Structure 1
Amino acid sequence: MAAPARRLCHIAFHVPAGQPLARDLQRLFGFQPLAVREANGWRQLALRSGDAVFLVNQGAGPGEPLYGLNPHHAVPSATNLCFDVEDAGAASRALAARGCSLPVPAVSVQDAQGTATYAVVSSPAGNLSLTLLERAGYRGPFLPGFRPLTSAPGPGWVSHVDHLTLACNRGSSPTLSRWFEDCLGFRHLPLSPGEDPELGLEVAAESGCGGLRLTALQSPVGSAVPTLVLAESLPGATNKRDQVEQFLARHRGPGLQHVGLYTPNIMEATEQVARAKGQLLTPPKAYYQQPGKEEQILASGHKPSLLAQQGILLDGHAGKFLLQVFTKSLFAEDTFFLELIQRQGATGFGQGNIRALWQSVQEQAARGLED
């Protein structure tokens, strides 16, 4: 591996001035302002909930925003993943030797709290770039160049980022997997027993036409990097009904489709999001009437009626369960959403829930086309 990632530092977004992402993260999901930088036409606001940090870059300055790139993308987008590495300079040289494009070679930034060194590498996943950050000697709350913000403690609904899902062009998952494995030290994480890394997990649509292919990658042992999930549509899907193809069209190419945020109490978190008027995705009506679903929910210690009321999906067996709920898009272009996830011993993603998510997003997309 060229540059083993040790942890996820933050996820960066690029949005036009006035776009409400930063406000919505605070009002709907309990994020709190952490630090801000305003310079050269950019307003960069870092927000935090637990260990999850989102950096919202607003505007379009003449140069690059600090710690990232201006992708000049057509729609608001999650455009950068920032990873902590041991030596940013050595990592950037190793990636360059592999033929990777580094639009920002290793550069150091310093303020009164210390120094950080970073480099930005282009990824093969659409407009998504990766920042390799070395900040072991920095003592401030975020990064050099940012002014710390003081805010009241947040509600604590989210503790960390659980996983990141990229929507990919059909047939590109094997190439992307190899790139993340070779360059950042990721390795294949089977989602089903005996899974072929080249094929991933195939989730067929109920109609038998198309479906979803998922390939999961986990970080090196001992690191604290979220699982990376690659999603692509299977052959046979129609562009009008396939959620991945719709993302690719509306986003103008591959990119980060959603972020899974871990919450220690999904019931409370979902209640608070709903109370703040956050829009959650409605599961298929038949989900909670599946044979054995009620018994499964009761075995997990939850009430079926409460999960159904809040739209929370549950999957698992043998005392290990996974609970998930999904938001509607945070952008008008319908290109990015969040997931709240709670694990009760489960380590995967729940094949039943994957199918339920597929169906619910498909139904939502169909309703949107009909409106």
Structure 2
Amino acid sequence: MKTDNTSLHLEKTVPQAEDFLPILGTDYVELYVGNAKQAAHYYQAAWGFQPVAYAGLETGVKDRVSYVLQQDKIRLVLTSPLQSGGDINRHIDAHGDGVKVVALWVDDATKSYEETTKRGAESYMKPKTIEDEQGKVVLSGIHTYGETVHIFVERKDYKGVFMPGFKPWSPAYKPEAAGLKYIDHMVGNVGWNEMNKWCEFYAKVMGFAQLISFDDKDISTEYTALMSKVMSNGNGRIKFPINEPAEGRKKSQIEEYIDFYNGAGVQHIAVATDNIIETVTQLRNRGVEFLKVPKTYYETILDRVGEIDEDLEPLKELDILIDRDDEGYLLQIFTKPILDRPTMFFEIIQRKGAQSFGKGNFKALFEAIEREQELRGTL
């Protein structure tokens, strides 16, 4: 991640956030996966992530291997176990491939740990300093929903490739980037009646504020429903929508996720682009599969959202959704699950002023998801 390693104090954009925990951004997202080498190839070939760093047997790590990939400000760490038994194997057995760590970039990892644990967070990792000839990184961590954890990363005194213990990884194969810029938001799915508990956790333990909420009247179809609230830190760089199932005639996507993931976890990562038509065209050509919406969606869309800068035809051709709020509009599209289990997926989003999350698209989106669930026999 290109940072100048100096202390940053970003403008507060969410006034109601208590924000005693200044977070500078998402540092990295770590997934525990069955085969990190092959997963790394997928994220390079299909998504345009660039190889950055590696840790494994060659760097003195005996129990795991990790590949670090990056695209602009988005950094992924893909980790697999090297031996049977242990926590990583158990995690993969329970959940399949999935997000274990949402790492947050902070000025002071020790203070972040103290502030959150004294407010009730369960400790995952006490503050520790790791060092090499490139400097030092301070890490600490807390538990959140399911088996997901937040690691606080303080790297202002580090000049190396990722962090101590990793070496540069520069294979010959480096496909072009796909125009992905940063993580816009990350969505957590939690169990029945757990949404408010975890929203309170982010408010009380981390100083976040609620931006918006959707109930089952907002997010429902003939068959399924869910509830969602969006929590944000003070500078708006970290947004965590939290979803829970709601009563419906059939099994919702949240229930399907929880059944196959065996509990709460990260459902999707929304990544931003400055040109969604170009990005989605590239991703489609590289084999990424997206949800389709009925072409009838586009017949009245401009009546609902008003004038947009883009030509409607390519949006229609690519199944890109459009929504508007008081501040502008947004363009968004969702992949099918990127794993064998119907759990995690990605959203591609381009904001043209809008700060919302596409409420006007929920019905079309959920009906598209239900069509996929029906094919899987899990609706």
TM-score interval, smaller chain: 0.7 to 0.9
Letter in 2 for 1:17: N
Please say if 1:133 is aligned against 2:153. Answer: yes
SS at the partner of 1:43?
Answer: strand
* TM-align CA RMSD: 2.6
CA distance in 1: counterparts of 2:137 and 2:378, whole angstroms: 50
- Distance change in 2, residues 1:45/1:312 (3 Å): same
CA distance in 2, matches of 1:184, 1:260: 21
- Alpha-carbon shift at residue 148 of structure 1 (Å): 1.8
Kindly indicate whether residue 309 of structure 2 is the aligned counterpart of residue 301 of structure 1.
Answer: yes
Determine helix, strand or coil for the equivalent of 1:366: helix
Please list the CA deviations of residues 31-88 of structure 1 after superposition, one character each: whole Å capped at 9, or x if unmatched: 11111111213111111111011111112558989xxx77634211111100122222
Question: Using a 3 Å threshold, how does the CA distance of structure 1 residues 6 and 70 change in structure 2: closer, same or farther?
Answer: farther
Classify 1:96/1:18 alpha carbon distance in 2 versus 1 (closer, same or farther; 3 Å).
Answer: closer
Aligned to 2:355: 347
Amino acid at match of 2:244: E
Quote how far apart the aligned CAs of 1:302 are: 2.1
Whichever residue aligns with residue 171 of structure 1, its letter is N
Q: Which residue of 1 aligns with 2:31?
A: 13
Residues 231 and 60 of structure 1: CA distance in aligned 2, closer, same or farther (over 3 Å): farther
- Give the letter aligned to residue 204 of structure 2: D
Change (3 A) 1:325 1:2: same
Task: Give 1:277 deviation, angstroms.
Answer: 1.6
Mapped pair 1:369 → 2:377? yes
The percentage of counterpart residues that share the same residue type is 23
In the alignment, the residues of structure 2 paired with residue 248 and residue 353 of structure 1 have an alpha-carbon distance, to the nearest angstrom, of 23
The 1:169–1:95 alpha-carbon spacing in structure 2 relative to 1, beyond 3 Å, is: same
State the match for 1:188 in structure 2: 210
- Match for residue 313 of structure 1? 321
**1:232 counterpart residue number:** 244
Q: CA deviation at 1:249?
A: 0.2
Corresponding position: 1:249 with 2:271: no
Aligned equivalents of 1:35 and 1:183: distance in 2?
Answer: 32
Give, in whole Å, the separation in 1 of the partners of 2:234 and 2:89.
29
Measured in 2, the distance between the counterparts of 1:12 and 1:232 equals 23
Asked whether 1:288 is paired with 2:298, we answer yes
Q: How big is the shift at 1:2?
A: 6.5
Alignment of 1:25-64 (within 5 A): 25-38=43-56, 39-59=61-81
Q: How many residues align?
A: 353
> Cα deviation per residue 1:164-201 (whole Å; 9 max; x = unaligned)?
0111112111110111112222111025xxxxxxx757
Secondary structure class of the residue paired with 1:203: coil
Letter in 2 for 1:72: H
AA of the residue aligned to 2:91: H
Where structure 2 has 5 or more consecutive residues not aligned to the other structure, the ranges are 1-18
1:274 aligns with 2:284: yes
Other-structure match for 2:200: 178
Instruction: Report the equivalent of 2:234.
Output: 220
Post-superposition offset of 1:101: 2.3
- Matches of residues 318-337 of structure 1 in structure 2 within 5 Å? 320-337=328-345
Contact 2:36 2:66 survives alignment (8 Å): no
The aligned residue for residue 100 of structure 2 is: 79
Counterpart Cα distance in 2 of 1:64 and 1:184: 30
TM-score, normalization by structure 2: 0.85
Counterpart CA distance in 1 for 2:204 and 2:326 is: 35
Q: Aligned letter for 1:326?
A: F
Q: CA deviation at 1:301?
A: 2.1
Shift of 1:295: 4.7
* CA-CA distance at 1:367 after TM superposition: 1.9
* Distance apart, 1:4 and its partner CA: 4.0
- Give 1:130 shift: 0.8
Report if the CA contact (8 A) 2:219-2:362 is conserved.
no
Preserved CA contact (<8 Å) 1:80 1:128: yes
Distance in 2 (alpha carbons) for counterparts of 1:190 and 1:200: 10
Rounded Cα–Cα distance in structure 2 between residues aligned with 1:238 and 1:153: 42
Residues 187 and 269, structure 2, Cα contact 8 Å, conserved in 1: yes
Deviations 1:336-364 (Å, cap 9, x if unpaired)?
A: 11111001111111211222222211111
- Aligned partner of 2:15 in structure 1 is none
